[in-house]
Amino acid sequence: MGLSMTINGDHLTSTADPVTPLVDVLREDFHLTGAKPVCREGFCGACMVLIDGNPTPSCLIPAALAQGCDIRTVEGLAANGRLNPIQAALEACDAVQCGMCFPGMVVSLTHLLTTRPEATRDDIRAALTGNICRCTGYERIIEAALLALATP
């Protein structure tokens, strides 16, 4: 029996083993390769997706428990092909370096922007404690988040 999931609004099915980490199903079965399995431990945030609106490392969610949830990956965050406010701000601030951490950064910051419009620099730093940027591009990422928060 397959696993059925709702991903970026699409209903998809997978024949993966129930305990397969969601990140592998996203990438291998559905070819949504934005989420990256980097540490597979919940430390780096490169595999972050929104599950029922909450940033969640998809390396730690078994596919079986993702059934019945609203899953949003970075591929689903630019509605009608238009960058969302944090994506636009990251581009404007030239924040991307190698890009490995970016899908996760976008997911965590999209959540912060929609739930905490009054967030401060410290709040942004705290929200990103589970997103590691190996290129250490944090300052520009935080500047971009502040810009997005300040843009009406």
By the criterion CB under 6 A, which residues form the site for ligand FES? 37-47, 57, 59, 96-101, 133-135, 137
**Between residues 1 and 79, which has the closer beta carbon with respect to another protein?**
1
Q: For residue 4, list its beta bridge partners.
A: 13
Contacts for 79 with CB less than 8 Å, ≥ 6 apart: none
Interface residues toward another protein, by CB under 8 A: 16-21, 24, 28, 40-43, 45, 48, 54-57, 59-62, 64-65, 108, 126-127, 129-130, 132
For residues 26, 31, 35 and 36, what is the CA-based torsion angle, rounded to 10 degrees?
100
Which of another protein, ligand FES, ligand FAD, none does 64 bind, CB closer than 5 to 8 A by kind?
A: another protein
Which of ligand FAD, ligand FES, another protein, none does 101 bind, CB closer than 5 to 8 A by kind?
A: ligand FES
In the chain, alpha helices (H): 22-24, 63-66, 85-92, 102-115, 121-127, 138-150
